[in-house]
Amino acid sequence: MIVGNLTWPGYCNGIYANGVAISNFTFMNFSIAIEVDYSRHIEISNNIIKNCSSGIGCFESNSSVFRGNTIESCSMAISFGGCSNFSLSENKLINNLESLRIAGETLSHYLHYIDSSNTVDGNPMFYLVNASDLVINSVDFPEVGYLGLINCFNISVSDLTLRNTSVLLAYTNNSIVESNTFFGPPSSFALVLDFSYNNQVTNNTFMKCGCSLYNSQRNVFQNNKIITNNTSVPFDVCGDTLSSYINDVDDSNTIDEKPIYYWTNMHDLAVPKNASLVILVNCTNIKVQGINITNIVELVSCQRCIIKNCIIQNNTIERVLYPAIYLKNSTHNYVEGNLIFANGVGVALGSFGSFTTGSKWNEIYNNSIIGNDYALFIIRSCNNKIFHNDFIDNVRQAFLYPGNVTNMWDDGYPSGGNYWSDYEGTDTYSGPYQNITGSDGIGDTPYIINENNIDRYPLMKPWRSLNLKIINLTLTDQNGNQKTTFLKGEIAQFNFTIRNIGSLDLTNGLISVMILDPLNTPIFLCYIFESISQGITKEFIIGYRVPLTAPAGTYTVKVMIFTDWPSEGGTGLDIKTSTFEVS
């Protein structure tokens, strides 16, 4: 037994042994207070854990006891990954971003004893195993801190209000989740379906949180409302087989009042332009074109689809690398002419489950992929052609796993490859072997991603002829003093600078400024038409008086550049967002 007091900041206290007991400690400001990996018969009791990224994290461990711990103000209180037969009692989880997360690959990984003496913000946790024919509602369960339904059948969950916690259905079938309101946890999933079939999820509201399905199929989603304010992953589906993606999610489901389009086995259609999120499963010849979207476009086992002239931006969710465009086991598709800006991952090519190969023979060209954490994320995918794209200011331009997968990164000479903002080569020579004196707009040396993936003809200038960037966006009062909180009736000024870094002039381009209220509803739109020649920088100031009736909260301002009105075929060139408070 280890007994003591530990209050200094640190990274992690790891347990990789059997029969260990930890009690009466105080852990503060750790990255991971206690980590239990590959262990059994562990007892963690009567500890205080505060202000940590993770309170107690467990992986591939079993037959252990957590009792009487207080975990407060952590990003994640308790997490289990591939664990079984844990007993939790009398634990107090207080003011954590996420209270309990359980993940696994077999039913045994979800079989734990967690009784209602455990609380989340003072409300009891309910973890039901092998239950059936039960109604859980606000009358019989007025306060719910957490709800887990494990290997259950015919359960109805309705009219609950849940804050900063979640509902888990694992190996649970033929059940109903309806008319509930979920508040948080931010940046995570409030409703999780793992290995669950034939359930109905209807008329729920998700505030700044989302919903996840893992290896779950034949579930029906209708009339659910997700409000994100760009703070959460709204809807995520993963599985080990194609059948895991076969669910009935119709366009009555919305994200920020725009419909979700989740199509299965559809052909020869165009996705409507009002889409909030697009998931295509086993589809062919579908066009996703001209959409301004802040969520994912995902193709699962699709062929001959086109993603063209879309603006896909701001998919950077805290702690999540979320791709803007994701092709899973899809072939012969085209990703063309999109602005992919400020996402966790710009474009991902991958596979699902037991497939050893991912997405093949797709073409990704003429895209501006700017300011993402990863521009390209390629997993087990080969023989894709990637050329004439602009990779600008991404934290990492391309990531490939394993490293021996091979893709084509140029269109030969003299057509050329891609523009890479971190390319350091020069342009003194020309020709297929870059050995003829005289520049040709192509770098003299290749751009090397790894030994199997090489852009032989990197471009010296961005490919897309119009390339404008909003290089700053600051908020000030009317006297020019920087400010991010405004009173009702005050004037907020939005100061931004636009620079033309492309090779052509912008003539009568559309510059718009939009403000969204705390519910993500547009309340203000200002636009001007402006010409900006190549190499020129222009500064702009737009004023906005906060209405006396404005509700308090966080407001979002978006500055966008288009070649023309999107409804008239205009293409998005750049977007930048910021927030301010109204008190």
pLDDT tens, residue by residue, 199-228: 999 999 999 888 999 999 999 999 999 987
Helix/strand/coil for 201: strand
pLDDT at position 3: 43
- Give 17's DSSP letter: S
Structure tokens at 206: 């998700």
d(CA 411, CA 168): 48
Residue pLDDT, tens place only, 75-100: 999 999 999 999 999 999 999 988 99
d(CA 186, CA 49): 21
d(CA 323, CA 530): 32
Mean pLDDT of the residues in the chain = 89
Residue 264, judged by CB atoms within 10 A of its CB (0-12, 13-18, 19+), counts as middle
* Structural domains for the chain: 257-464 (no CATH), 468-582 (2.70.50.60)
φ/ψ of 418, rounded to 5, equals -120, 160
Which ranges of 101-165 would DSSP assign to H, the alpha helix?
none
Distances (CA, A) of 418 to 168, 441, 454: 44, 11, 11
- Residue that the structure tokens 């718009």 belong to: 512
* pTM greater than 0.85 (yes/no): no
Is 361:381 a contact under the CB 8 Å cutoff?
A: no
Q: Would you give per-residue pLDDT tens digits along the chain (583 residues)? A: 444 444 444 445 666 778 889 999 999 988 889 999 999 999 999 999 999 989 999 999 999 999 999 999 999 999 999 999 999 999 999 999 889 999 999 999 999 999 999 999 999 999 999 999 999 999 999 999 999 999 999 999 999 999 888 999 999 999 999 999 999 766 678 999 999 999 999 999 999 888 999 999 999 999 999 987 555 568 999 999 999 999 999 999 999 899 999 999 999 999 998 998 999 999 999 999 888 777 788 988 989 888 886 767 544 433 345 788 999 999 999 999 888 877 888 999 998 765 567 899 999 998 889 888 899 999 999 999 999 999 998 999 999 988 788 999 999 999 999 999 999 999 999 999 999 999 999 999 999 999 999 999 999 988 876 678 888 899 999 889 999 999 999 999 999 999 887 766 788 889 999 999 998 888 999 999 999 987 889 999 999 999 999 999 999 999 999 888 877 767 778 888 999 999 9
Is 116:96 a contact under the CB 8 Å cutoff?
A: no
Per-residue burial over 424-456, b = 16 or more CB atoms within 10 Å of its CB, e = otherwise: eeebebbeeebeeeeebebbbebbebeeebbbb
